Amino acid sequence: MSKFLIVGLGNIGPEYALTRHNAGFMVLDRMAAQYGFGFSMTRLAYTAKWSHKGKQLFFVKPTTYMNLSGKAVSYYMKQENIPVENLLVVTDDKDLPFNKLRLKPKGSAGGHNGLRNTDEVLGTQEYARLRFGIGSNFSRGRQVDFVLGEFPDEEMDQLPAVLDRAGDAVLSFCTMGIQHAMNNFNQ
């Protein structure tokens, strides 16, 4: 049975729960609610396992805070013996408009501290990432406030549908492969 590591990036704590920077956590939480699996506190992360269409999916929400996400990614790749080609990191992206998803087989951190740390710890950028658009509606010097701010009401109304689409992209990556998932979910 093929194994996949799905990592949702975010920050732990109730003050971060609904912030844009926690889009990765939100996608995994939405999938857990939809498919009936739950997360447990383990070493460096909240983790969950779920089988889907003959694939073993191992979900990780690092508890290391965003800037040290790579530590949990590396630990669980080794612990679960999952190859880098079966790793998918789900993260927010301010360079994409809200409501857009972008799945890529590799790429740069693009200024995202969670991806930057993951690149450093793994020693590669050659892993898949699903970028969840949060938009960039902030003035100069206000980026931190924006990404650590909550989605406004009009986006909150649309959020469940976007989270569902992101969850579908995760499952497509695991069952159909990166190319098929990219063709179906990149707009």
**Residue-wise pLDDT tens digits, 141-174:** 888 889 999 999 999 999 999 999 999 999 999 9
Q: What does the chain come to in residues?
A: 187
Whether the CB-CB separation of 133 and 102 falls below 8 Å is answered with yes
pTM of the model: 0.96
Whether the CB-CB separation of 4 and 51 falls below 8 Å is answered with no
Q: Which runs of E-coded beta strand occur in 9-158?
A: 40-42, 45-52, 55-62, 87-93, 101-104, 128-133
CB proximity list for 56: less than 8 A, separation 6 or greater: 1, 2, 3, 4, 49
**Residue-wise pLDDT tens digits, 107-146:** 999 889 999 999 999 999 999 999 999 998 888 888 888 9
Tell me the domain boundaries of the chain: 2-185
Active site residues: 21
Q: How far apart are the first and last CA of the chain?
A: 31
Domain 2-185 fold: Rossmann fold (3.40.50)
